[in-house]
Chains A and B, each alone.
Chain A
């Protein structure tokens, strides 16, 4: 199955935001049984659950949630490349959380204040994402201002994912926000957290010809295909199965 062919702006926007939530939820779920401490395992699972709930609402606005999640091919997914990046070490997961949850929190605050189709969901989700953002900021400070090892790893992770952050502010049809203002606020917030964490603000480009970021157009990075294979194989192997 490919993306719905009669995409209205509201449908394509629901797919973009819904796929972000679905894919990141799955990535965070991969930590189950592997997180550094029990409290963190529970935290990552709870964040994943919030995102899964958001994904269900959003994908249901675009079509059948199960078909969209389990039967689309890689090229039909509209998520940011940032959220599909592998978990890496814990620092990479936290850097990905910092970049994405800050964006999602700022975005949903704007959508909640409007009167568009996403306002009801955003009004709920903005409160959930506030906790996600807080979680990521606290860990960023703790790891950055922690040991030499944690600081080195956190700097490395923030730099490695930097090139995926420009894509968040490209216009999405049906998402009525001022991308430039969103980006300015995101950059100010992330820079402030990194400064408090005694981490370096990455210097590489965030957008342009030589950076990453075409997930919204259905172009994904190598590891995404493998993630989808694992996420979808049960549903595809046993169509219509239920508990």
Chain B
């Protein structure tokens, strides 16, 4: 095993980050891990005689601390990197800096919407989620009152801004359950974190 030069390592790492990031999310398979923003880095720890990566360490960050998908993600990342010729893959879970829904790429947001899940709204500050009682319904005018998120949660089916919260917790920890008041369809909302 040979230690690569910084330049070689950088090129290899960028390539392997693409490979690791191409893994679909186990619970939201329309998104890749890169679009979800959970693969933080790939470090090449050693190369083989053909200058290909031999040992790599992947930094993966959980969406929620208790997200059970992280184990499936680790296994999938190991599998694709092994298939790419890497012999020794270590996936390390990192907590800091904490993942935020702002880490989901614009492409990821578009795919979520097309999949029928309202994407998270962009948060303006790094503050924790603002706590407001009773603001369960959004409409086109949402955001004009001080302290409210900037934009309404739109129905991913018909696009209406007039939607209401049914439950803050839905099929997975990262989603809330809402209902559209225009088309009456219930839908999941990837809640801001």
Contact = CB atoms under 8 A, between A and B. Distances in A.
Interface of A: 39-40, 42-43, 45-47, 49-54, 56-57, 105, 109, 119-121, 123-128, 130-131, 133-135, 137-138, 141, 196
B96 A120 contact: yes
B171 interface: yes
B129 A127 contact: yes
Given A127-B128, A130-B131, A121 B95 contact: yes
B88 to A, nearest CB: 23
A94 B171 CA distance: 21
Nearest to A58: B65
B159 interface: no
Interface residues of B, number: 27
B129 to A, nearest CB: 4
A57 B64 contact: no
Nearest to A137: B133
A54 B128 contact: no
B44 to A, nearest CB: 25
A49 B68 contact: yes
Nearest to B101: A127
A27 B129 CA distance: 25
Nearest to A125: B65
Interface stretch (B9-17, B73-81, B103-111, B161-169): B161-169
Contacts of A135: 168-169
A43 B133 CA distance: 17
Given A49-B173, A50-B64, A50-B66, A131 B168 contact: yes
A123 B62 contact: no
Contact of B67 (A53, A123, A127, A133): A53
Contacts of A131: 129, 168-169, 191
A53 B66 contact: yes
A43 B168 CA distance: 7
Most buried by B among A47, A53, A131: A131
Contacts of B22: none
A138 to B, nearest CB: 6
Given A49-B68, A57-B95, A133 B131 contact: yes
Given A39-B169, A50-B64, A127-B193, 4 more contacts: A49-B66, A124-B62, A134-B129, A137-B133
A42 B169 contact: yes
Contacts of A119: 96
